[in-house]
Amino acid sequence: MKRETVVVLDFGGQYNQLIARRVRECNVYCEIYSYKTSIEKIKEIQPKGIIFTGGPNSCYEEDSPTYSKEIFELGIPILGICYGSQLMMHLLGGKVEKAPVREYGKIEVNVDTNSKLFQDVSPKTICWMSHNDYISQAAPGFAISAWTDDCPVAAAEYTEKNLYAVQFHPEVLHTQEGTKMLSNFVYNVCGCTGDWKMDSFVEESIKAIREKVGDGKVLCALSGGVDSSVAAVLLSKAVGNQLTCVFVDHGLLRKNEGDEVEAVFGPDGPYSLNFIRVNAQERFYEKLKGVEEPERKRKIIGEEFIRVFEEEAKKIGAVDFLVQGTIYPDVVESGVGGESTVIKSHHNVGGLPDYVDFKEIIEPLRNLFKDEVRKAGLELGIPEYLVFRQPFPGPGLGIRIIGEVTAEKVKMVQDADAIWREEIAKAGWDKKVNQYFAALTNMRSVGVMGDERTYDYAIALRAVTTTDFMTAESAEIPWEVIGRTTSRIVNEVKHVNRVMYDCTGKPPATIEFE
């Protein structure tokens, strides 16, 4: 049976992944495609519905992203959001122009509750607006279904053709009844039944992996993080001892992490995997010598990682498949799926070298968002402490040491990070924040220790709250926790004489430092 799919057509807006997540939260599978995707491809997918995203352009300008008008004739329901709504109107004969009053923020919107889209929504509801242009006149055939004081067409619909347009952003939580609206779209308008559930994902994946692998040998890149752990357990359930897990200690792990991973996945742990630990620390440090540029560091670490696997594979002999724990946001952020700008080339995707000595790469989590990976992990019976472990990037401490990586700097950041994590946990803040770590800034400054002048490094502490890791807020950790951590770090970690707390959210910063 074919899985119901909603396609998000990406016109370059910043909330595109959020739209896909919200749709999936309604138990409907959703994928993001660039607006450059051909209409043939869309037809092939046979989506139950299509969502046009927002975007930074003005649809009436010549070079702005657009789409063939034919899409409106496919009989597939379409919801246009922000730029997507304007483009729909523009292409179908409505009028879009610069708004006399720019709307930005939470705005009270009047909605027609007879609309399928606004069923069970309050007649006056708070929505998130962010637009310079506006629809001054809806296209022929469209009825206006929402409006504000400054925006005569906040929503419009052509019900016979199942075309819907909303100027605001139902996907962001500031739109108080946005989830309801998206659920109305996928259920009331597209007629979805909601067949995207984690138990069916696990079952289907195991079946698909078995079919694909046959009696082939599988090699899994296990890092001990949530993604690769879930991928490894999924694979081991599917192909048992045809699977070998190789854990590369690249010397950029957190303090004692190598031993911890071995304790869980090694021969004394609860899983019966073939487990190989490779101690490749020196190799990575050698490759990283003198390299300061973040993207190069990421690429080097990613490539070296693959090389180590190739070598292990050769030792094991005739390996057919390599498993990686790539997840959907990695794919989209690397510019593979959607239209958004490449922000960082993610370890699992951007760093692949040209030559890979395996038949194929298996990425069983490639279509999942992080919270879906966790749900799948629980479904697979992986212990909660592993499933809810805070994320740790593939390139590890390599991207938490600004500038050149050396063994000494790794030790500094490991020790500082261990102290920070210990103090955060002691204060009970580990449950309140989603990610917290220490980074080594490349800044050295003058200090005084005893009667001695010092010229040493500054550690930056980071703790963020986030639901999706695409946006994040700096957490308001109590001063006493930061204070205690600071004195411990400057006392216990050699060559650190200054500690700073990073107060920046994402955007404008990212969670990691590089």
Q: Can you tell me which of 141, 391, 403, 505 binds ligand XMP, judged by CB under 6 A? A: 391
**Sign of the CA dihedral 446, 449, 452, 456?**
negative
C-beta of 22 vs 462, nearer to ligand XMP: 462
Question: Which one of the spans 278-286, 378-386, 393-401, 452-460 is the region binding ligand XMP (CB under 6 A)?
Answer: 393-401
Shorter beta-carbon distance to ligand XMP: residue 195 or 512: 512
Residues 283 and 300: beta-carbon distance below 8 Å? no
Contacts of 485 (CB under 8 A, 6+ apart): 419, 420, 423, 424, 461, 499
227 is in an annotated binding site: yes
DSSP 498: E
> Which residue, 377 or 395, has its beta carbon nearer to ligand XMP?
395
Stretch near ligand XMP under the rule CB under 6 A, chosen from 36-44, 169-177, 233-241, 505-513:
505-513
Instruction: Choose, by CB under 6 A, the member of 77, 258, 394, 398 that binds ligand XMP.
Output: 394
Kindly indicate which of the ranges 39-47, 151-159, 207-215, 346-354 contains the residues binding ligand XMP, using the contact rule CB under 6 A: 346-354
Cα(495)–Cα(487) distance, rounded to whole angstroms?
A: 14
CB of residue 298 vs ligand XMP: minimum separation in angstroms?
6
Between 115 and 348, name the residue whose CB sits nearer to ligand XMP: 348
Q: Is 130 annotated as a binding residue?
A: no
Q: Give the β-pairing of 49-52 and 5-10.
A: parallel
Strand partners, 456: 445
Residue 230, judged by CB atoms within 10 A of its CB (0-12, 13-18, 19+), counts as buried
512 touching ligand XMP, by CB under 6 A: yes
Tokens of residue 464, six digits: 């963020």
| Catalytic residue status for 171 | yes
Site for ligand XMP in 254-283 (CB under 6 A): none
For the question of residue 59 being annotated catalytic, the response is no
One of 180, 413, 469, 498 touching ligand XMP (CB under 6 A)? 469
347 binds ligand XMP (CB under 6 A): yes
Residue number, 161 or 506, with CB nearest to ligand XMP: 506
Q: What are 392's two structure tokens?
A: 């740790």
Parallel/antiparallel/unpaired status of strands 473-474 and 452-465: antiparallel
DSSP string for 61-115: STTS----GGGGGSS--EEEETHHHHHHHHHTT-EEEEEEEEEEEEEEEEE-TTS
Cβ–Cβ under 8 Å, residues 142 and 102:
no
Task: Count CB atoms within 10 A of the CB of residue 502.
Answer: 16
Q: Does 511 bind ligand XMP (CB under 6 A)?
A: yes
Choose one: 37-45, 189-197, 269-277, 389-397; the region binding ligand XMP (CB under 6 A). Answer: 389-397
- Which listed residue (26, 59, 82, 151) is catalytic? 82
346 binds ligand XMP (CB under 6 A): yes
Active site residue 26: no
Q: According to the annotation, is 226 in a ligand binding site?
A: yes
Applying CB under 6 A, which of residues 435, 454, 465, 471 lies at the interface with ligand XMP? Answer: 435
224 is in an annotated binding site: yes
* CA separation for the pair 217, 241 (Å, rounded): 9
* Of 217 and 254, CB closest to ligand XMP: 254
Render the burial of 414-428: b for 16+ CB within 10 Å, e for the rest: bbbbbbbbebbeebe
* Minimal distance, residue 444 CB to ligand XMP, in Å: 24
Phi, psi dihedral angles at 458 (to 5 degrees): -110, 135
Residue 292 C-beta: closest distance to ligand XMP, Å: 17
CB 329, min distance to ligand XMP, A: 7
Q: Output the known binding site for ATP.
A: 223-229
Mind telling me the catalytic residues? Answer: 82, 169, 171
Given the rule CB under 6 A, which residues bind ligand XMP? Answer: 344, 346-348, 391, 393-395, 435, 469, 506, 510-512
